[in-house]
Amino acid sequence: MKFYSPQKLKTIAELIGAQFIGPEDFQVLGTNEIHMVKPGDIVFVNHPKYYEKALNSAATIILIDKEVECPEGKALLISDDPFRDFNKINTHFTKIYNFTEELHDVEIGEGTRIHPSAVIGNNVKIGKNTHIFPHVVIGDRTVIGDNVIIQAGTVLGGDAFYYRKLNGNFDRMISVGNVVIENNVEIGNNCTIDRGVTDSTVIGEGSVLDNLIQIGHDTVIGKKCLIASQVGIAGCCIIEDEVTIWGQAGVASGIRLEKGTVLLAQVGVNRDLAAGTYFGPIAEDFRTYLKKEVKVRNLK
């Protein structure tokens, strides 16, 4: 998430009541998750296991629960609860509406048709010649391109599935990102595409999604991908261009699939995959899988 204007380190520290290490006028441009950070971003970390990753990331401001040595060229915000304060920063700079206020700041392009039963949030942009079917829900800040088809019951921009366990309960990370649907995309019935926590969940130009598909927060689907029914893709994945994913396949969080990869039905993906065709509950090369099956059958 980028702030509307650059902020100073001291200003952010005062907002959350944190100690800071670094020049008080150190520039802060926004916030982001560890998978997505860029220079100028705040990233939070609240476990020693991930200190090194956060401190050595592209982020230049680290919101952390312990005073540590500050890397050169970076700044620290010392907080007793970085998760809580990351939420506080995000919601201070991003208005959360959740369909509770009058519709405003919606742009709809020429030739676009929207069924009266569809529900649209605030700060939404929809391009030209797009068709929105009945009972579609379009959350705040969603951006939809030209010549897009979104079929009945689909939800764009629901909250990310991102929680921590706190005092025996689940505490939500508030999602302030959005969903971006590029031109010429088709999305089937009853799909759910979660908005980014701090960035964008993206469906690339010319991609086609079947019915009943779940796409997690901050995942980027490339151009001209084909995804069949009941596929589940977790958050922060990178699905490169022209990937095909067949029915009921599942992809764990933070995975990258190279351009042209094919996942056959019910594949489970727990690691990055190079281009190829994969099958099995723990994805393996399809030809290798078939050879193993032949050997097993020959043992009988």
pLDDT given at position 298: 80
pLDDT given at position 130: 98
pLDDT given at position 56: 96
pLDDT given at position 99: 86
Q: Which of 212, 215, 146, 151 is nearest to 184 (CA)?
A: 146
pLDDT given at position 156: 98
Give the three-class secondary structure for 27.
strand
pLDDT given at position 290: 84
Ranges under pLDDT 70 in the chain: 300
CB 31 within 8 A of CB 77: no
pLDDT given at position 136: 98
Query: What superfamily would CATH give domain 107-288?
Result: Hexapeptide repeat proteins (2.160.10.10)
The catalytically annotated residue of 115, 131, 135, 217 is: 217
217 is catalytic: yes
pLDDT given at position 300: 61
Q: Return the domain boundaries, the chain.
A: 2-93, 107-288
pLDDT given at position 102: 76
Q: Count CB atoms within 10 A of the CB of residue 48.
A: 11
pLDDT given at position 126: 98
pLDDT given at position 297: 80
Fold of 2-93: 3.40.1390
